[in-house]
Amino acid sequence: MARKKPIPCPCGSGQDHTDCCAPYLAESAMPPTAEALMRSRYTAYALGAFEYLRATWHSSTRPAELASESNSKWVGLQILATEGGGPNATEGKVEFIAHYKIQGRAFRLHERSRFVREGGAWRYLDGVLDPDEH
């Protein structure tokens, strides 16, 4: 039986997608850290898995609807810093830059996101855009 060719995970971890974010998006596993949730949420944006995004948003800040940017193409993720958010923590922060394109034009999203545990699972709470400017 031939092995499938590895597909790099969109989150930029360097791992095969099936061993990285795919189990989280399929809800067969839960991200163990705030960074793992951040990476899986980026992957969800890249793959258009908007139900996963809603499910991993904290209930107190979850929007009623998520608009899908069908014309955006997510092309890279850089994790700049993490604070807390480990397997036994209850809160954490992840600063990142997400790169994307719309109609061939390059953009970037720089955010310091806050994550908390809700019902034992990591959830995205909120974030500060362009944190260096605040």
67-96 residue pLDDT tens: 666 688 999 999 999 999 999 999 999 999
Task: Identify the pLDDT of residue 71.
Answer: 81
Place of tokens 């993490």: 82
| pLDDT score recorded for residue 3 | 58
Give the per-residue pLDDT at 2: 55
pLDDT score at 134: 56
Domain ranges (residues) in the chain: 17-133
What does DSSP say about strands 121-129 and 105-118: parallel, antiparallel, or unpaired? antiparallel
Residue 132's pLDDT is what? 78
* The CATH number, out of the four listed (2.70.170.10, 3.10.450.50, 3.40.720.10, 3.30.465.10), of the domain defined by the range 17-133: 3.10.450.50
Mean of per-residue pLDDT scores for the chain: 92
Decide if 102 contacts 71 (C-beta within 8 A): yes
11-17, long-range: CB < 8 A, 24+ apart: 11/39, 11/40, 11/42, 11/43, 11/77, 12/39, 12/76, 12/77, 12/78, 13/39, 17/43
Q: Could you give the C-alpha distances from 125 to 63, 66, 93, 101, in angstroms and in order?
A: 11, 15, 10, 25
Residues 6+ apart with CB under 8 A from 64: none
**Which residue is associated with the tokens 């604070």?**
83
The per-residue pLDDT for 6 is 84
pLDDT at 19 over 70: yes
Distance of CA 12 to the CA centre of its chain: 11
